[in-house]
Amino acid sequence: MGLCPKATRALTEFALTAPGVHTVFADVEPANPASVRVLEKAGFRRRAADEGEDTARFTITKPGHHER
């Protein structure tokens, strides 16, 4: 795993330790495959591409919590 996915994973794990934070969202341009791959390697999952928008939403949820 490269430096960017490791840093993304570390920041995400830190964010998920904050009180009340159960999910981290990332919006990315699908036309940027390197950014998409960083999120995938860091454990994020693609959730949706907004109709009429040029972004796709990726999320990662704290273990034991379900996304709404």
pLDDT in tens, 5-57: 999 999 999 999 999 999 999 999 989 999 999 999 999 999 876 676 788 99
Structure pTM?
Answer: 0.83
The whole-angstrom distance between residue 7's C-alpha and the CA centroid of its chain comes to: 12
pLDDT of residue 1: 72
pLDDT of residue 24: 97
Which residues, other chains included, contact 11 with Cβ-Cβ below 8 Å and sequence gap of 6+?
A: none
Helices H, strands E: what count in the chain? 2, 3
pLDDT bracket for residue 63 (50, 70, 90): confident
| Residue 34 CA from chain centroid, whole number | 13
- Tokens standing for residue 63: 């273990």
- Tell me, rounded to whole angstroms, the distance of Cα 26 from its chain centroid: 5
